[in-house]
Chains A and B, each alone.
Chain A
Amino acid sequence: MSTRLQSQGRLIDRSESRTFTFNGKTFTGFKGDTLASALLANDQMLLGRSFKYHRPRGIVAAGPEEPNALMNMGEGAKFEPNQRVTTTELFDGLTAKSQNHWPSLEMDVGVVNNYVARFLPAGFYYKTFMFPRFAWKHVFEPIVRHSAGLGQAPKEIDADTYEHFYAYVDVLVVGGGIAGLQSAKAAAESGAKVMLIEQTADFGGRAVVDDAEIDGKHADTWVTETLDALRAMENVTIRTRMMGAGVYDHGYALGYERVTDHAPTMDGPRHRLWRIRAKQIVTATGALERPLSFAGNDIPGVMLAASMRDYLVNWGVVPGQKTVLVTNNDDGYRTAIALKEAGLDVPVVVDARPDANGALPTKARDMGIRIETGKAIAKVKGGKRVTGVEICLMEGEGGAREEIKCDAVAMSGGWSPVVHLWSHCGGKLNWNADQAWFAPDPARPPLGDNGEGFVICSGIASGALDTPDVLTNAHDAGKAAAKAAGFTATRKTAPKAVATAEETMAPVWIMPKKATHAQRAKSWLDFQNDVKVSDVQLAAREGYESVEHTKRYTTLGMATDQGKLSNINGLAILADALGKEIPQVGTTTFRPPYHPISMGAIGGEARGETFQPLRRTPMHAWHEEQGAYMEPVGHWRRPYTYPRGAETHQDAVKREILNTRSNVGLLDASTLGKLIVKGPDAAKFMDMMYTNMMSTLKIGKCRYGLMCSENGFLSDDGVVARIDEDTWLCHTTSGGADRIHGWMEEWLQTEWWDWKVHVANVTEQLAQVAVVGLNARKVLEKIGGMDVSKETLPFMEWKDGTIGGFDCRVYRISFSGELSYEIAVPASQGRAFWDALLDAGAEFGIMPYGTEGLHVMRAEKGFIMIGDETDGTIIPQDLGLNWAISKKKEDFLGKRAQKRSFMDNPDRWQLVGLETLDGSVLPDGAYAIADGTNANGQRNMEGRVTSTYYSPTLDKGIAMGLIHNGPARMGETVKFGLVDGETMVEARIVDAVFYDKEGEKQNV
């Protein structure tokens, strides 16, 4: 059984207990425990079920590499699935539930998959669901959805907050082991601004657990002293609970800080994502121990040897009382020695190597531990926990079996440097055959903006071996980083340490050497995704040669641990099956993040009210007070309509239109873009920007203008006013202001940089209100101020003045066909002006109208709308706007493009009005069906609807559309298909101006 010992546990405080629940049962642990150590202390070995076969699983590791022990953590709005018990610090009130089992962890029905395992082979997703096609939706998908997957999706909105933080440093050091500490110190002594981050809450890493001696002191003391020295330096920042999540181009790195995970009642964000820009990055990320592949290596109680030492030394817990060690290297013996020294039973050490005579094996032997060399594990016995092992010869199929009783197995398959951060941005690796690992190749680092390397690996992450080597390497890494960041490196030397001589490890990828199929089919490579040795071998037999393809086919290394334990073992098996060398097969790509990070942290502040910026006009609050139904127009929110009482939106729109046409309406037009173009060359510039001749526009006059892209397509439209000799004011579409402002600046800065023109965007300086309808003038005259009569201010002119004391610029322009004044006032006066208009207009029946009323009224007048009649492929000529294209100008943007043969051609779809014969409203975007079919057997088309509305003014459906040769076909009928694809509606081609064709109403 797994228990807490009376001794050891350097990270726990036995005087402070912590209460938590697991699957509803209450347990206690200590301050300083992880959830993993606390569960082990309570003899909870079985913690989850595997992904595919629902096999019982327990804890394998002590850090972020843990593949099995994932939990549903928290409840309600604090619920989060797939949380590792090994990286979860214990706190009072923690609630955890195991995943992927039904109905219960102990009694899982899915375990039947275990017995049909041969029907769930590698690539089974690819093989199983091909045919029949209908079965996917109705049979396979429901089954897969029910049985696969790990944790549950949260149901409530996350109650926590998250944030980002931008930090700029000279040297970022990732990892708080002795290598990271020494690198940080060496770099900081040069004067560089250093940031040291450590993913756990404490420092020292392996060296402390393994009793290394540095400068004549225990590593623990050295770590404390070094930390004190670092903390005393002003140029050093130290952050704990912060993982180096990813390294990206040009020295960009992400740090994932878990601010309050360990203390959820504290104020502050749960996670903080640090967006760090470093001149140099030192990765002192250590190494991960590899499992060994033997039958039953996934049974709860089988654990990585070094992780077992971590549990013993850091938290005073052991997974078993009788532990068998299986190893292919000397380092693993440290576990046997530590367990023995703690008074626990180690019945045998199984060493796959023919001899073991290094210092550590000798010490173990001297302690009386039985050591079997040239041996392997034939199988682990047990179901929900280990009950024993059968050992056998390593050679051949593994004869001479002997059963040994035990309740835990420690396995050590050698180490792999954590090269993830080095590799994220393109750092290359070399295969080291002696250690059977991939280590960074310092000659091929990731490159920064200056073309030089910006990542340096430190300590065992770089491939350094023992403590003296690690410290020297780390010291040099820190110095090199400081130098590369522009500082003079320290002249101090690295600390001294004593090496423990270790003999060479022996690569062992499967045990015994010629394991039977039955053994290979129970030898797990990827615990989390349930990938076995036999699966990878099958993939190789089926022709998968690329490691990337094999990964996706077998799902090896695709789980939330991204193959931290499985990758090297898996590709060694693949290399063997393909008869290739490991470096020839290569690794899969390392991608960020190193370890999963929360979606909340990625989103940062972008949630809730600040999910995206909403743009509000000065009158926005009024619209909301009226209960207006708002619609998005770019990032703006504009009132679509203002429903009254139980009115439907349709009825409200109808009321607003009829009132505007018969009395007077009010529109918040503040979102219209307003750009000032001024300068000695502004006239020339305006003529280039617009298809119209704008240079001849008289001061005080307005003109409707079109802008095209260089490709000839209509891009924006709006009314232009000539302000003075060298100043124009350009109205753009709502949401088009920034784009057109940028477009103008682009031409001025990059093509005509010698032209003297300034452009300023004054969109938001001005609130703009359209006062529209028969009574519009009466309203303004009642408020009183400037003369707005037809004589003084005729149609298509503008004037500055005051109305009711407001500073106004009044434009006589109309997008509705009615008598209309568009009045701009400073935005700070916008709301007051709006209120004044409503007051004065009450007796004339004034009513605000929304964007839908605006749209319908402009369609009744046949005015086009950018984005409705245009879609980036429409030239003004298609829309009958030839009158707005100057024939006199030598050049304007789009002119050359419009001369291309396929554009300068009447045989195009062109704008017309459409009236259904039955008065119904055509569906938006409906296509006009022509006779016959095309080469693909699809029905031929001869046009489409671009705008379609019920017109309250005319009490029938009206539409605008692009019809093949439309203007030449007035009076003809065309057929439009409804959504069902069968029903046809006939519509007559008519003039697009449905209302007041002569324009008498707007010109009064």
Chain B
Amino acid sequence: MLILDCPCCGVRGEETEFHGGGEAHLKRFGPDSSDAEFEGYLFTRQNPKGVNFERWRHANGCGKWFHAARCTMTLEVFATYSAQTYEPPADVIAAIKAKRPEWEMPA
């Protein structure tokens, strides 16, 4: 059972306080988008084996959403960070690279 640090309230809580929300940094495509763009937004997920950016909500806690960079294989948590960002911030990328030098941010 995972431990996550909620960046919004500072609690280091166990998984039962949180609720997973799938892949992070999705770009919403609205009414004017093409079928392919909309399909990508709604259905296509990276689902990597390794470093993954995902959304979590501190459901049984402060109620806030945040992002986590986590390895789907070892479950290592590299960082948790604000949900109010379009991409992982530089310090999060650095934290991942420190542990996984070979890893590159997917395009």
Contacts and interface: CB of A to CB of B under 8 A. Distances in A.
A277 B75 CA distance: 16
Nearest to A709: B42
Interface string A739-757: 0001001100111010000
Interface in B48-106: 55, 57, 59, 63-65, 71, 74-77, 83-84, 99
Contacts of B57: 742, 746
A890 interface: yes
Interface string A713-750: 00000000000000000000000000000100110011
B40 interface: no
A895 B42 CA distance: 13
Interface in A516-539: none
Interface string A348-365: 000000000000000000
A890 B76 CA distance: 42
11 contacts: A451-B71, A451-B99, A742-B59, A746-B21, A746-B57, A749-B84, A750-B21, A753-B84, A890-B31, A896-B30, A896-B31
Interface stretch (A171-179, A245-253, A838-846): A245-253
The CB with the most chain B CB atoms within 10 A, among A449, A711, A750, is that of A750
Contacts of A277: 3, 14
Contacts of B28: 710, 751
Secondary structure at the A interface, as helix, strand, loop or mixed, is: mixed
Contact of A250 (B2, B29, B63): B2
B65 A896 contact: no
B64 A896 contact: no
A897 B65 contact: no
A753 B64 CA distance: 12
A293 B3 CA distance: 45
B55 A447 contact: no
A613 to B, nearest CB: 13
The CB with the most chain B CB atoms within 10 A, among A252, A277, A451, A745, is that of A451
Interface in A212-256: 248-252
Given A250-B3, A447-B75, A891-B30, 8 more contacts: A252-B14, A447-B74, A451-B99, A742-B57, A746-B21, A750-B84, A751-B28, A896-B30
Contact of A749 (B29, B42, B59, B64): B64
Contacts of A250: 1-3, 75
Given A451-B76, A749-B83, A753-B83, A897 B42 contact: yes
A654 B28 CA distance: 49
Contacts of A897: 38, 42
Nearest to A711: B42
B16 to A, nearest CB: 9
Contacts of A956: none
Nearest to B67: A750
A449 B31 contact: no
Contacts of B74: 447, 451
B33 interface: yes
Contacts of A899: 31
The CB with the most chain B CB atoms within 10 A, among A248, A711, A742, A890, is that of A742
A164 to B, nearest CB: 11
A451 B98 CA distance: 12
A900 B29 CA distance: 13
A251 B4 CA distance: 12
A904 B83 CA distance: 34
Nearest to A890: B31
Given A250-B3, A451-B99, A749-B65, A710 B42 contact: yes
Contacts of A248: 1
Interface in B1-54: 1-4, 14, 21, 28-31, 33, 35, 38, 42
Nearest to A896: B31
A-B pairs, top 3 by smallest CB distance, nearest first, are A451-B76, A753-B84, A250-B3
A900 B33 CA distance: 11
A938 interface: no
A897 B37 CA distance: 12
B76 A450 contact: yes
A277 B4 CA distance: 13
A751 B26 CA distance: 9
Contacts of A251: 3
A449 B75 contact: yes
A611 to B, nearest CB: 17
B21 A896 contact: no
Contacts of B75: 249-250, 447, 449
The CB with the most chain A CB atoms within 10 A, among B3, B4, B29, B83, is that of B3
A896 B3 contact: no
A749 B57 CA distance: 10
Contacts of B84: 749-750, 753
Interface in A234-288: 248-252, 277
A184 to B, nearest CB: 23
Given A753-B84, A895-B31, A449 B65 contact: no
B3 to A, nearest CB: 4
A152 B76 CA distance: 44
B65 A750 contact: yes
Nearest to B3: A250
Contacts of A749: 64-65, 83-84
Contacts of A450: 76-77
A838 B81 CA distance: 54
The CB with the most chain A CB atoms within 10 A, among B71, B77, B99, is that of B77
A568 to B, nearest CB: 28
Interface string A885-923: 000001100011101100000000000000000000000
A516 B57 CA distance: 64
A292 B21 CA distance: 53
A252 B3 CA distance: 9
A449 B31 CA distance: 41
A926 to B, nearest CB: 33
A272 B64 CA distance: 33
A458 to B, nearest CB: 24
Contacts of B2: 249-250, 449
B29 A896 contact: yes
A751 B64 CA distance: 13
Interface string A437-459: 00000000001111100000000
A750 B55 contact: yes
A668 B65 CA distance: 34
A448 B76 CA distance: 7
Given A745-B65, A750-B65, A449 B3 contact: yes
B76 A447 contact: yes
Given A249-B1, A451-B99, A753-B84, A891 B31 contact: yes
Contacts of A751: 28
A751 B86 CA distance: 9
